[in-house]
Chains A and B, each alone.
Chain A
């Protein structure tokens, strides 16, 4: 048994923040504006609450079984057959998500930067980065995520602050003109973006748990919500809701408006750095979760050997998954229930079954 891998609370928080904000803050304003127009901020707050709820499910599961990750919990609670089936489904889900993330990663560059470089190169770069990180271990890329967290937060905050003189707050009016409930029709896609934090189900048992772990976790979701809120607000105040909805990546257009010293423009490069770093963390995290899940499911002795075939498989999957970005966007919105199922519904069900079984009444918070 190798030495127990532990990550700290702060590292957990940065992993969560990066995985949820990295992707969504780029295209969220557009998708949300389609549902809620000017009231996207309201939708974001609602989504944040849904995310916290999602987080609690996993925290509770972890409190009940402090040393088990999700796959093992399934097997424990539901028995070897049903649990094994569900675990297998989840491992496939993780693989699927990794492929989705990889594809998103490549698409951003093709659309925002340079369509001449072939997509397969970007996919290759993404999967190589992820595989390398997983091969160095959870601790290594968790440490990197701390650094990346600062870079991302400061970059985003910097962008929003620099543009302050160009905002038109009146674009947000009138507020909630069609009532409270109408914007909430888009709650499921938002919840699924925030629900991407479900990888922590595989990781919580590696966290050095203290009294503050839950606070850090909830804090992470809060930070994500705040950043998403700022992104949505900036885009709405800058462009107006309808225009923001027509952009593919509104945040990129936001950055293109930054103008320093009259001549320096097109700061897309800053966004490239942020996007590559956050996608790197997200790909690594899900790849690690997949590998871990596979190892636990099939009780592998040397999971390392599976890394390269798994990465190659995910590369192929990502390449041929969907034809174009339109399909990706549509899938995220129309078939969001698919993600939601795995992120929230099934773990919540398992949690209730476990609770009914009476587990975890006296569980201690172990290491």
Chain B
């Protein structure tokens, strides 16, 4: 009996071997896609760009992420079809699972983001943590840009997103974030924007990328573009600001300014609804700053000066956030998730307000209290 059992094993193994191994993909048969670009195509379809790294073989030292890249294009009625059709132009199977960044053209968003978000989710290969960007123009330009030290633009895009930690002008947004916000309905989605800068010298040198600001959405539709100051206000209000730089004008003169580095920021949001159904939002901000440059004339750093600066900074920061509130009310985008906060705190009232929320939100009242503290002056008095 044991011999028969062994024979069965061997036969099974042979059967499996002879039927051929399916589902495996040797690395020699793959193109690894690093970033993806999405543009609107003809007849409501999409145009897909995939950035693939060239492999420099035959050398002793593999180059890792320093290889040159090439771009593949294809068109289709939806993302999946376009991705499949790209195989027609590619001599190898495309590996989508390593995609680091997706760049979407604004024109696609004008058609309605719902379709795209849904397709991204169903495209099983993309990682949850794939970064998303939006560009005003063609996404192919972004993919073709070459930053110094990273010829693969996916690396550049990732690095730029992480730069938001020090500038507070952008924030890494992943596919999962977008899908979560859109699906749960907790808040409106935002996508960081990216711009391609033309080379100053006008030559064919590498173009640079710049990541500043966000595109805000109202539900499914594109609401507007948030420039630098509004973005900073938004990130501060949402408690996602890690570090930034602030400046105050020098007293009296124009053109010179006092510079501060914002090292810590914490904001708390509390909402309440008054009897007539108007939400009021209170935001309290605590910020720590360091003085890093005081190039004004006749300025000595004294505690009174510091107190004065703190007051001015309070107003400056509050001003940034007010700009943001005005933007969000004007475009009716609930980026802070105020609706959901009301839901959590007053579930019964929320049931009544839920359906008209789009109209109720612009009537909300925002009030900001800022407490700044200047920590170090890095100067001897």
A and B touch in the complex (CB under 8 A): yes
**B276 close to A (CB within 8 Å):** no
CB-based contact A243/B129 at 8 Å: no
**A70 close to B (CB within 8 Å):** no
**A118 close to B (CB within 8 Å):** yes
**A266 close to B (CB within 8 Å):** yes
CB-based contact A177/B347 at 8 Å: yes
Contacts of B129 on A, CB cut-off 8 Å? 256-257, 259, 265
Given contacts A128-B12, A257-B128, A265-B127, 18 further A-B contacts (CB under 8 A): A116-B22, A118-B22, A170-B344, A171-B184, A173-B344, A174-B343, A174-B344, A174-B347, A177-B347, A240-B184, A242-B184, A242-B185, A243-B179, A243-B180, A243-B183, A257-B129, A265-B129, A266-B97
CB distance from A162 to the nearest CB of B (A): 14
CA distance A246 to B343 in the complex (A): 21
CB-based contact B347/A239 at 8 Å: no
CB-based contact A246/B183 at 8 Å: yes
Look across to chain B and name the residue whose beta carbon is closest to the beta carbon of A248: B124
**A361 close to B (CB within 8 Å):** no
CB-based contact A240/B180 at 8 Å: yes
- Residues on A facing B (Cβ under 8 Å): 114, 116-118, 121, 124, 128, 135, 170-171, 173-174, 177, 239-243, 246, 253, 256-257, 259, 265-266
Contacts of A239 on B, CB cut-off 8 Å? 176, 180, 184
- Specify which of A118, A243, A265 lies most central, judged by the most chain B CB atoms within 10 Å of its CB: A243
CA distance A246 to B122 in the complex (A): 11
CB-based contact B127/A266 at 8 Å: yes
**B202 close to A (CB within 8 Å):** no
A-B contact count (CB 8 A): 49
Can you list 12 residue pairs at the A/B interface with Cβ under 8 Å?
Answer: A114-B23, A117-B23, A174-B345, A174-B347, A177-B347, A239-B176, A240-B184, A253-B128, A257-B129, A259-B129, A266-B97, A266-B127
CA distance A124 to B373 in the complex (A): 67
CA distance A278 to B344 in the complex (A): 38
Contacts of A117 on B, CB cut-off 8 Å? 22-23
CB distance from A231 to the nearest CB of B (A): 17
CB distance from B24 to the nearest CB of A (A): 8
Contacts of B121 on A, CB cut-off 8 Å? 246
- Residues on B facing A (Cβ under 8 Å): 5, 12, 16, 22-23, 97, 121, 127-129, 176, 179-180, 183-186, 343-345, 347
Contacts of B183 on A, CB cut-off 8 Å? 240, 242-243, 246
Contacts of A242 on B, CB cut-off 8 Å? 183-185
User: What 5 A-B pairs come out closest when comparing CB atoms?
Assistant: A117-B23, A240-B184, A116-B23, A173-B344, A177-B347
Contacts of B347 on A, CB cut-off 8 Å? 174, 177
Contacts of B23 on A, CB cut-off 8 Å? 114, 116-117
CA distance A121 to B180 in the complex (A): 35
Contacts of A116 on B, CB cut-off 8 Å? 22-23
CB-based contact B22/A256 at 8 Å: no
- Specify which of B12, B16, B127, B128 lies most central, judged by the most chain A CB atoms within 10 Å of its CB: B128
CB-based contact A256/B128 at 8 Å: yes
CB distance from B23 to the nearest CB of A (A): 4
CB-based contact A243/B184 at 8 Å: yes
CB distance from B160 to the nearest CB of A (A): 16
Look across to chain A and name the residue whose beta carbon is closest to the beta carbon of B346: A174
CA distance A265 to B130 in the complex (A): 11
Look across to chain A and name the residue whose beta carbon is closest to the beta carbon of B184: A240
Contacts of A177 on B, CB cut-off 8 Å? 347
Look across to chain B and name the residue whose beta carbon is closest to the beta carbon of A118: B22
CB distance from A264 to the nearest CB of B (A): 11
Contacts of B345 on A, CB cut-off 8 Å? 174
Contacts of A118 on B, CB cut-off 8 Å? 22
CA distance A246 to B120 in the complex (A): 13
CA distance A5 to B353 in the complex (A): 65
CB distance from B337 to the nearest CB of A (A): 10
CA distance A124 to B9 in the complex (A): 12
CB distance from B227 to the nearest CB of A (A): 29
CA distance A164 to B128 in the complex (A): 17
CB distance from A234 to the nearest CB of B (A): 14
CB distance from A327 to the nearest CB of B (A): 19
CB distance from A24 to the nearest CB of B (A): 22
Contacts of B186 on A, CB cut-off 8 Å? 171, 240
CA distance A241 to B344 in the complex (A): 14
